[in-house]
Chains A and B, each alone.
Chain A
Amino acid sequence: KQEVTQIPAALSVPEGENLVLNCSFTDSAIYNLQWFRQDPGKGLTSLLLIQSSQREQTSGRLNASLDKSSGRSTLYIAASQPGDSATYLCAVSRAGNNRKLIWGLGTSLAVNP
């Protein structure tokens, strides 16, 4: 059974720091992995999608990597800003069954001015 874990559950950093959020999964047979951002009381915004055949994806200050063999993905945020404060969620879908996402519980990030 696929399980997704995100560590740490919460993170507080000063503005300007580069930071890494971690996501681990137990079954390497994934179709893709997607990182989302959720602001309090809001919906989910897709940040990056990594297909199983890819190693990383980049969008602006964000870079996500995928290592299926070790069951890990990292989301790197460069030069963090207070506007980056949110909960970051990762989710994986199984190979051959991209209908179902398995979710981590998220990392709550606070970037302090």
Chain B
Amino acid sequence: NAGVTQTPKFQVLKTGQSMTLQCAQDMNHNSMYWYRQDPGMGLRLIYYSASEGTTDKGEVPNGYNVSRLKKQNFLLGLESAAPSQTSVYFCAIFRDRGIGYTFGSGTRLTVV
């Protein structure tokens, strides 16, 4: 998963706590995405960013916020974590010219 780095890899939160998941790319691409993966539900898009400074909601944005202040970084925030946000979170970039999507290695989040 070279080129897309996610931190942290694992995190345990208590209900109500806040945190930020970080995604960094070193390939200077415009489009970045946040997905969550849950058993039996597949991957679902939370938010995406078509370019620096712009963000748009995906399928499941409630409870999350995002920030794309720099082209290289796409941040996903949980303001008040809930057990329903226990999931594996993936960041991705989209590269055109037949390459498609490249994913980070994921952040496994547990909210207790």
Seen from chain A, the residues whose Cβ lies within 8 Å of a Cβ on chain B are 32, 34, 36, 41-46, 49, 51, 89, 91, 98-101, 103-106
Contact = CB atoms under 8 A, between A and B. Distances in A.
Contacts of B108: 41
Give the interface SS of chain A, mostly helix, strand, loop or mixed: strand
Contacts of B100: 32, 34, 46, 49
Nearest to B49: A99
Interface residues of B, number: 25
Counting from the closest, the 10 A-B pairs by CB-CB distance are A49-B100, A43-B105, A44-B103, A103-B42, A103-B43, A34-B100, A43-B106, A105-B42, A43-B103, A43-B1
Contacts of B1: 43, 45
A49 B99 CA distance: 7
A100 B100 CA distance: 12
A88 B88 CA distance: 17
Contact of A49 (B41, B43, B98, B103): B98
Contacts of A36: 103
Interface in B63-112: 90, 94, 98-106, 108
Contacts of A106: 42
